[in-house]
Amino acid sequence: MSSASFRRFSILVVGILPIFFCSLNVPLRAASALAAWSIGENGVLRLRTKRDADLKAFFQPSDFQSGERVWIDFPGELIRARSLKGSGPIREIRLGKPRTGFTRLVVEFRPGIVLDPSKLQLVAVSEDRWELAFKGLPTYGLFRIGEGTLQSPSWLANSRNRSVPFKRNSTNVDDLPEVKRGIYRVVIDPGHGGPDPGAVGIGRLRETDVVLDIALQVGRLLELKGVKVSFTRTTERDLDLPPRVALANRLRASAFVSIHANASRSNKASINGVETFFYSGWKGKALARNIQQQVLKVSPGSPDRGVRQGRFFVIRRTNMPAALVETGFLTGSLDAPRLAKKSHRRRLSFAIAKGILNYLKEVN
Ligand SMILES: [Zn+2]
């Protein structure tokens, strides 16, 4: 990108857009605190932000589907989500809106690139300038990439001595909470199955397929943590509701978790979100709350539809604390493309397993 287009970008951000919003007479949302960014050939990420912006930084280790990722959240909303192709060790840079009022800059590395999260530090070098050096990153084939101009007026150049620590956002089994091994049994219930596909959403995406994949992964993760797991079904087969309940009651399970995906009544693409149901008891509610909390964390932008009481047969007739999680809307324009992705289902599985383990720790 030439320096002329850098300049155009920054003028666009600071000049035209506030006017644009005012003229439409919509409530003015704060513009993104991110003004410019670049990654140099030396593998250093530089940022220019509003003065003393409150930034949050995250690290996500690689999983089977994607490489390691680092992202930074900025207050204020981005105008247009976009992704840019990386070079060398960097696969892609994405700028998005994780939730209302925030901007997220994601750097995704190619599979096989390993970062040391203990050495990641986002350092404020002045009131409005930041640096993050990816120490040890092989820079072969890396070209400078960036948007906006990093230079700031000299009166802002007071030095700063603070840094933002990176939080680890992991789908690594070792990072799941520990519970006492061999004493809990959890029944995992993938909704629907066989001739009953459940909800069918955008792109003919079927609930039964989505929830079976998630459920099997949740079970495996729990087993790796020493929890005994039983599934109501492990294949694409027909199964009524009473035998699901009977299995859990016969096994005297510690918890029962039914996994579903939602559809809105009129297939409205604008309806998205996560909700978790319980039927009764503070333990059922605690189970639902723990699951909801974790699922929301891996579903940025998807609305929190809350922890709610529901009269679904499988949570009403089971004798143990029970929850039913709706992992997103197969008919929703935000949720559906995500639920179709194996990497998102992996994150959902991790989140549900984490919620269940947190619950077991909390109530026992
Ligand atoms: Zn369902």
Cα 275 to averaged position of ligand 1 atoms, centre (Å): 12
Cα 118 to averaged position of ligand 1 atoms, centre (Å): 41
Cα 185 to averaged position of ligand 1 atoms, centre (Å): 23
Mean pLDDT (whole number) for 315-326:
98
What local confidence, expressed as pLDDT, does residue 156 receive? 54
What local confidence, expressed as pLDDT, does residue 65 receive? 65
Cα 191 to averaged position of ligand 1 atoms, centre (Å): 5
Cα 262 to averaged position of ligand 1 atoms, centre (Å): 6
Note whether 263 and 201 are within 8 A (CB).
yes
User: Which strand ranges, in their side-by-side order, compose the sheet holding 56-60?
Assistant: 82-85, 90-96, 102-109, 69-75, 56-60, 162-168, 121-124, 129-133, 44-49, 34-39, 145-147
pTM: 0.67
Cα 64 to averaged position of ligand 1 atoms, centre (Å): 27
Separation CA 73–CA 68 (nearest Å): 17
For residue 136, give both structure tokens: 């040890």
Separation CA 166–CA 132 (nearest Å): 11
Cα 293 to averaged position of ligand 1 atoms, centre (Å): 20
Cα 301 to averaged position of ligand 1 atoms, centre (Å): 22
Question: Hey, what domains does the chain have and what are their CATH numbers?
Answer: 3-168 (2.60.40.3500), 173-363 (3.40.630.40)
List pLDDT tens digits, range 33-64. Answer: 999 999 999 999 999 999 889 999 998 888 65
What local confidence, expressed as pLDDT, does residue 10 receive? 36
Instruction: For tokens 């309940």, name the residue.
Output: 245
Cα 201 to averaged position of ligand 1 atoms, centre (Å): 12
List pLDDT tens digits, range 153-163. Answer: 655 556 667 78
Mean pLDDT is lowest, of 126-130, 220-224, 312-316, 322-326, for: 126-130
Cα 208 to averaged position of ligand 1 atoms, centre (Å): 8
Cα 243 to averaged position of ligand 1 atoms, centre (Å): 16
List pLDDT tens digits, range 243-290. Answer: 999 999 999 999 999 999 999 989 999 999 999 999 999 999 999 999
What local confidence, expressed as pLDDT, does residue 322 receive? 98
The proportion of the chain whose per-residue pLDDT surpasses 90, expressed as a percent, equals 70
What local confidence, expressed as pLDDT, does residue 136 receive? 87
Cα 219 to averaged position of ligand 1 atoms, centre (Å): 18
295 beta partners: none
List pLDDT tens digits, range 67-79. Answer: 899 999 999 998 8
> Could you tell me the pLDDT band of residue 137, with boundaries at 50, 70 and 90?
very high
